[in-house]
Chains A and B, each alone.
Chain A
Amino acid sequence: MQLLDIRNLSLELATPEGLICAVDRVNLLIREGEVRGLVGESGSGKSLIAKAIMGVLNNRWHVKADRFSWNGQDLLRLPYEEQRRIISRDVAMIYQEPSRSMDPTAPVGEQIMESIPDHVIQGVSWWQRGYFRKARAKALLHKVGIKDHLTVWNSYPYQLSEGICQKISIAMAIAKDPKLLIADEPTTALESTTQAQLFRLLASLNQLKGMSILLISHELETVARITDTISVLYCGQLVEAGETATLLKRPRHPYTDALIKSVPEFQPDLAFKQQLYALPGSIPTLQHLPIGCRLGPRCPNARRECVRTPQLEKQQNHYFSCHFPLNRSDDE
């Protein structure tokens, strides 16, 4: 069953120089119980897509999509309040830099209690509600792996380490039992041991509760650890999407190929201190996007055809948009 089905999502920013197309016709499909990774470098629009799903982009952004359906309902056709109601009921997001996205003026316990929605405590008599909320918030803290809830309860976010703040923001996100959890760069600020804990936590949420997870990161190697499927973005264009194992083994787009080759984790027979594979040049800014395939100027096998935007091709659940895909099989 498809939970989220987005076709040709375009996000355009109104600037004095005209519209800038920051996200260009991106497809995203999340099934129930699936862990999907969204990989891309800074400025590739991955956080924008997450914000568009949550409906928290401001008015300067124009959201257009051929289809934007959540659980079979087309969200863009609904009035804004209705969209927000559905999304806030079913989708939760963990924002970047947890310690900054929490309220600095309130103790953590209060914030968690506040994040528990009313429908969870419906049916509880009113004099017991405060107690019930508190018990529930404590249970949430235990669930995300904070054993010592008493010290955390009365602390302010600045007093806690980034790893604990991250866990607390997960606790707040899962307070309403969302169907989809969007985790935006959850591990950038964390150390490797805490990262491993966090991934175990996300994996167990996915397996025990069947929660779908959209994991956003710029590092392919961290995403590949727990995801079933991966979508790779470059400069707002979807370059490749498919099952994690296939995508890593047989990338079809030069950008995915470069990403995999540039990470020493995926190169077991890389000699010590050997040069890594790197694409020349740097990511273009939004004001100077190349036409056609946006990887064009940096692509090692770019040809004249690349000034036209390539169509998304599909081969056995593996999508890629390139005129000259790599790793051709014999029958192509």
Chain B
Amino acid sequence: MNNLLDVKNLFKTYQKSTGLFSHKKIEALKDISFHLKAGETLALLGETGSGKSTVAKILVGIERPDSGEIQFDGLKIDCCDHNATNRRIRYIFQEAARSLNPNQKIADILHAVLRYSTTMDNEQRQQKIAETLLLLGLLPEHANYYPHMFSGGQLQRVALARALILDPKVLILDEALTALDPSLRAQIVNLLLELQQSTGLSYILITNQLRLVRHMADQTMVMYQGRALDYAPTQQVFKAPEHDYTKKLLASSPS
């Protein structure tokens, strides 16, 4: 099977001015390569500052890499060209409650997404919104609600709806499951697994919860200071970690 997403030799440095003329270079990513097949999950592990969020930002086009190539379905893409790429790779933020506009109804939020990225007319959009809400276990009536009228788990579903309404191939979950309560997290994890099975969606999972990684991810990449240390199938990383940092990280959690 061909790779859905192929990321090769990604480099990224940030410049930080330390004085009037002096700069300090921070190497956020050093030679990161990975690939993702359809219907698979890649987990990125690492502490803050290890560059895992930078990878996510580059993939959704918030940041531009210094060098490196991103191939989608065998074709080279420029992630900063939002019109072309944002319907393929979508991103979910950590806190759903803060990432939804409190002044807009759910319908308006979802309409806006469709209006900017598709050529659907109003009726088609409405139908699509109703379908997506149903897919995520919400009711079409929820379209007329404001974000504050939902509970935490439902909000996460709305955020998922916003990401999934464009039928993406890759979904990036940047700590999206961390802040949820355990019973809601189980619900959302179930939903994600179900979607993966039925639609072949791929996930890039950025999280600190090792057991969840073990449960959901096919591949795991451990990152440390912008470099990829261990990159292998999840079972292998957990059973026989190569680098000392990975061992330390895995030892920090029971199980």
Contacts and interface: CB of A to CB of B under 8 A. Distances in A.
A264 B212 contact: yes
Contacts, number: 82
Contacts of A258: 183
B252 A195 contact: yes
A219 B211 contact: no
Interface residues of A, number: 33
Contacts of B182: 41, 218-220, 259, 262-263
A31 B212 CA distance: 34
Given A272-B215, A273-B216, A282-B152, A193 B248 contact: yes
Q: Give the secondary structure class of A's interface.
A: loop
A51 to B, nearest CB: 20
B53 to A, nearest CB: 13
Interface in A172-229: 188, 191-193, 195-196, 218-221, 225
Interface residues of B, number: 34
A285 B148 CA distance: 12
B67 interface: no
A78 interface: no
A161 interface: yes
B48 interface: yes
A275 B254 contact: no
A191 B181 contact: no
A283 B181 contact: yes
Nearest to B181: A41
Interface in A273-306: 273-279, 282-283, 285
Interface in B169-226: 179, 181-187, 189-190, 193-194, 196, 208-212, 214-216
A323 B181 CA distance: 25
A313 interface: no
B216 A282 contact: no
Contact of B189 (A42, A219, A268, A276): A276
Contact of A278 (B152, B183, B210, B216): B183
A285 B151 contact: yes
A188 B209 CA distance: 11
B234 to A, nearest CB: 8
Interface in B135-164: 151-154
Interface of B: 47-48, 151-154, 179, 181-187, 189-190, 193-194, 196, 208-212, 214-216, 248-249, 251-255
The 10 closest A-B pairs by CB, nearest first: A262-B186, A278-B186, A41-B181, A196-B252, A276-B186, A282-B151, A278-B187, A264-B211, A193-B252, A192-B252
